[in-house]
Amino acid sequence: MIGPDKKTGTDGDVPDASSDAATDASYMQMALREAHKALAADEVPVGAVIVHEGRVVARAHNQREMLKDPTAHAEMIALTQASAAIENWRLTGATLYVTLEPCLMCAGALVNARISRVVFGARDEKAGACGSLYQVGRDARLNHKFAVVGGVLEAECAAVLVDFFTQKRP
Amino acid sequence: MIGPDKKTGTDGDVPDASSDAATDASYMQMALREAHKALAADEVPVGAVIVHEGRVVARAHNQREMLKDPTAHAEMIALTQASAAIENWRLTGATLYVTLEPCLMCAGALVNARISRVVFGARDEKAGACGSLYQVGRDARLNHKFAVVGGVLEAECAAVLVDFFTQKRP
């Protein structure tokens, strides 16, 4: 499910919602705290944060089991929160930070939301849609593209998932 | 955006949640009534219905503008409703009826929800992920596959979309 990410980098052909490595790590740390909230609730520990115009407009963690909702991934809840916060479903200029590479559902939602940039921690080799199985953000046939940076705080983001799955499947 | 669907048929290699053409048309008619509710609310007119063990467990229409939420497609709202109705995020055995071919977000959500069968009306050549741009339900790398039937009440499903977009972009 998770492993080192070597292939994913910033897409050169997508407008860059610029940031620096220290800022990225700082917001990823915030997403990791959300992942730990999921872990405490016995959910697959994934956390997400959305930053728009320098302001955190969403913080969420996976709540699939608690809500009994297959759509309740951290990224989806964060997108709904962010859109409510800025009163617009178009999140142009915003960056999503998430501890695990987004799946197809979430990557498709990021296109629909017109997000500008996605920063993820651990790579998801089995279901990832931002570099692993699919590269949704780079598909020129869709009506929106987004930049992707992978591997930020990768070890920490992977560790919390490994802890969870080790406990579940000893 | 929409057009005749000739390529999509039931996937032979996916377990069939069997139904007949008259039943499919009947549930698609119900989805069409949902699409007309969206049209009345000045939303892109797409409607969806989910049937589980012979019972309608969700009826929804696109509410993206009203909710200011990029994730509020008809299919997503229906998935959340259906999971709440059966108190389980796994919708194994269920069929989704939707008036327009699902996008990547919705197709990914259908995988996550373990839906068994998807029946759609109009094809979406620009964003469809169940036969047009992607064939998500047939991707053997993912942990779930689903059967797809396209083109049910296609003319009616397309007509309501054409009406909407003709009014918007005269």
Chain A residues inside the 8 Å CB shell of B111: 104-105
Q: How confident is the model at residue B42 (pLDDT cuts 50, 70, 90)?
A: very high
Q: How far does A112 lie from chain B, in Å, by closest CA?
A: 6
Interface pTM (ipTM) of the complex? 0.88
pTM score, two decimals? 0.89
Cα A63 from Cα A75, distance rounded (Å): 11
Cα A72 from Cα A75, distance rounded (Å): 8
B7 and B131 Cβ atoms separated by less than 8 Å: yes
Answer whether A127 sits within 8 Å of B143, measured CB to CB.
Answer: yes
Q: Which residue has the tokens 């709440």?
A: B84
Q: How far does A114 lie from chain B, in Å, by closest CA?
A: 9
Instruction: List the single residue in A68, A105, A133 with the smallest CB-CB distance to B89.
Output: A68
Cα A26 from Cα A32, distance rounded (Å): 10
Q: For this structure, is A75 an active site residue? A: yes
Q: What backbone phi and psi angles, to 5 degrees, belong to B102?
A: -60, 145
Q: How far does B138 lie from chain A, in Å, by closest CA?
A: 14
- Residues of chain A that touch chain B, judged by Cβ-Cβ distance less than 8 Å: 64-65, 68-73, 76, 79-80, 83-84, 87-91, 103-109, 111-114, 126-127, 129, 133, 136, 139, 141-143
**Dihedral (CA of B147, B153, B156, B158) sign:** positive
Q: How confident is the model at residue A128 (pLDDT cuts 50, 70, 90)?
A: very high
Determine the number of helices (DSSP H) and then strands (DSSP E) in chain A: 5, 6
Cα B60 from Cα B79, distance rounded (Å): 9
Locate A6 and state its tokens: 């070597």
Interface A-B: count of C-beta contacts within 8 A: 110
Cα A158 from Cα A76, distance rounded (Å): 20
Instruction: List the single residue in A76, A129, A141 with the smallest CB-CB distance to B71.
Output: A76
User: In the predicted model, is pLDDT for residue A6 greater than 60?
Assistant: no
Cα A72 from Cα A80, distance rounded (Å): 10
Q: Report the candidate in B119, B99, B150, B140 with the shortest Cα–Cα distance to residue B24.
A: B119
Buried b (16+ CB within 10 A) or exposed e, A124-137: bbebbbbbbbbbbb
User: In the predicted model, is pLDDT for residue A165 greater than 60?
Assistant: yes
Q: How confident is the model at residue B168 (pLDDT cuts 50, 70, 90)?
A: confident
A72 and A63 Cβ atoms separated by less than 8 Å: yes
Q: How confident is the model at residue A8 (pLDDT cuts 50, 70, 90)?
A: very low
Q: How confident is the model at residue A168 (pLDDT cuts 50, 70, 90)?
A: confident
**Dihedral (CA of B52, B118, B137, A124) sign:** negative
Residue tagged active-site, from A34, A43, A75, A101 = A75
Radius of gyration of chain A (CA): 14
User: In the predicted model, is pLDDT for residue B67 greater than 60?
Assistant: yes
Contacts of A46 (CB under 8 A, 6+ apart): A35, A38, A61, A62, A73, A74, A98, A99, A100, A161
Answer whether B79 sits within 8 Å of A69, measured CB to CB.
Answer: yes
Query: Mind listing the pLDDT tens digit for each residue in B4-23?
Result: 333 333 443 443 445 699 99
A113 and A143 Cβ atoms separated by less than 8 Å: no
Cα B157 from Cα B149, distance rounded (Å): 14
Q: How far does A87 lie from chain B, in Å, by closest CA?
A: 6
Cα A66 from Cα A41, distance rounded (Å): 8
Instruction: List the single residue in A68, A104, A142 with the smallest CB-CB distance to B87.
Output: A68
Scanning every residue of chain A, which has its alpha carbon at the shortest distance from the alpha carbon of B114?
A: A70
Q: What angle do CA B126, A132, A24 make, to 5 degrees?
A: 95
User: In the predicted model, is pLDDT for residue A16 greater than 80?
Assistant: no
Q: Cite the DSSP H helix spans in A74-122.
A: 74-86, 104-112
The predicted structure's pLDDT at residue A93: 97
CA dihedral A18, A131, A156, A40 (to 10 degrees): 110
Chain B residues inside the 8 Å CB shell of A71: 71, 76, 79-80, 109, 112-113
Give the bridge partners for A44, in sequence order.
Answer: none
